[in-house]
Amino acid sequence: MDSRVQSTNDVPGSQFRGSVRLLSEDNSFTINKSLVLVKLEGTGFETLTDTAGRWTLNLIPKGTYTIQYSKPGYSLAKRFGVRSDGVMPVISNQMTLVQMPPFSIDSMSITVKSDSVTILCRVNQTSTLVRRAILYVDSIPLDPNQRNRYVFSDIGLLIEPGNTIGIITLPLSRFYNSGFVSGSTVHCMGLPIIRFEATPDESYFAIDPNTKKTIFWNVNISGASALFTLP
């Protein structure tokens, strides 16, 4: 059942409606917010946003749904656990899709000291903007396509304008407090990310209801990895 409805008029029965924003790498918002695909996962209900970013889906049966938002060049985001009683309209909070990072992390190196770990990431290009890398750590080799299952470590690795290297030093206690023990092999991955905000509407991150891990939507999987042994 395909419902490509652009009208914002109220209709009888269960209706889902909401809006989106498109955020660029330079933190400006795109004026034309059309052609974002909005669909209810696992169903045939889908629609496209208009130029103002508005979207509407009609005749939604009673149930609990995951709303998925996507547009080429931007982050794919989901809103979990949206409920419909089959009668009343459902107004979904605005979702922000962020431009995917246009750079990659080409290499990563790690230096272990007696009380800290220093992580260095090298990116493939310079920019006039501050760029960011998100770091994941785990006790097993990392697969960037499964990044939402990792233990989230830190968002603080920055690549300053004009530079291709970002460095961060973390105390060893961060790893011990995350469940690692002395002698553990720690696998670390750095991935490009555009802007980080802790928002209540799940625009930038959400908790996967199945894995209970944090998902960051605005992450590029063109990253690098390295490993080290905890002293």
How far is Cα 116 from Cα 177, in angstroms, rounded to an integer?
13
Q: What is the mean pLDDT of the chain?
A: 86
The predicted structure's pLDDT at residue 201: 62
Q: Which two tokens stand for residue 168?
A: 């961060």
pTM confidence score: 0.78
pLDDT in tens, 200-212: 567 788 888 887 8
Looking at residue 125, its pLDDT comes to 92
pLDDT tier at 11, thresholds 50, 70, 90: very low
pLDDT value at residue 147: 66
- What is the rounded radius of gyration, in angstroms, for the C-alpha atoms of the chain? 20
How far apart, in whole angstroms, are the C-alpha atoms of residue 106 and residue 168? Answer: 17
pLDDT of the residue at 141: 85
Contact (Cβ atoms closer than 8 angstroms) between residue 136 and residue 188: yes
Mean per-residue pLDDT for 205-221?
A: 82
**pLDDT, tens digit (0-9, with 9 covering 90-100), for 71-118:** 999 989 999 999 998 888 899 999 999 899 999 999 999 999 999 999
- Number of Cβ within 10 Å of residue 102's Cβ equals 15
Alpha-carbon span 36 to 21, nearest angstrom: 10
| The pLDDT of residue 55 | 98
Are the CB atoms for 230 and 181 separated by under 8 Å?
Answer: yes
DSSP 129: S
Question: 2-11, 21-30, 52-61, 209-218: which has the highest mean pLDDT?
Answer: 52-61
Tokens 């760029």 — which residue?
131
> How many other CB atoms are there within 10 angstroms of residue 209's CB atom?
9
Q: What six digits make up the tokens of 22?
A: 């498109």
Nearest to 65 by CA among 54, 80, 47, 53: 80
**To which residue do tokens 């007696």 refer?**
114
Give the helix ranges, DSSP H, for 120-180.
Answer: 172-176
Q: Report the distance separating Cα 38 and Cα 94, nearest Å.
A: 12
Q: How confident is the model at residue 1 (pLDDT cuts 50, 70, 90)?
A: very low
Does residue 37 sit in helix, strand or coil?
A: strand
Token match 């233990």: residue? 151
| pLDDT for residue 81 | 92
Please list the helix, strand and coil fractions of the chain in percent, rounded to the nearest 5, in that order.
5, 45, 50
| Residues 33/18, Cβ–Cβ less than 8 Å | no
pLDDT of the residue at 207: 83
Domains and CATH numbers, the chain: 15-98 (2.60.40.1120), 105-229 (2.60.40)
Enclosing H/E stretch for 225: strand 224-229
Q: Residues 116-158: pLDDT tens digits?
A: 999 999 999 999 999 989 888 888 888 877 766 666 565 678 9
Q: Which residues pair with 91 in a beta bridge?
A: 17
* pLDDT number for residue 148: 64
CA pair distance 137, 147, nearest whole angstrom: 10
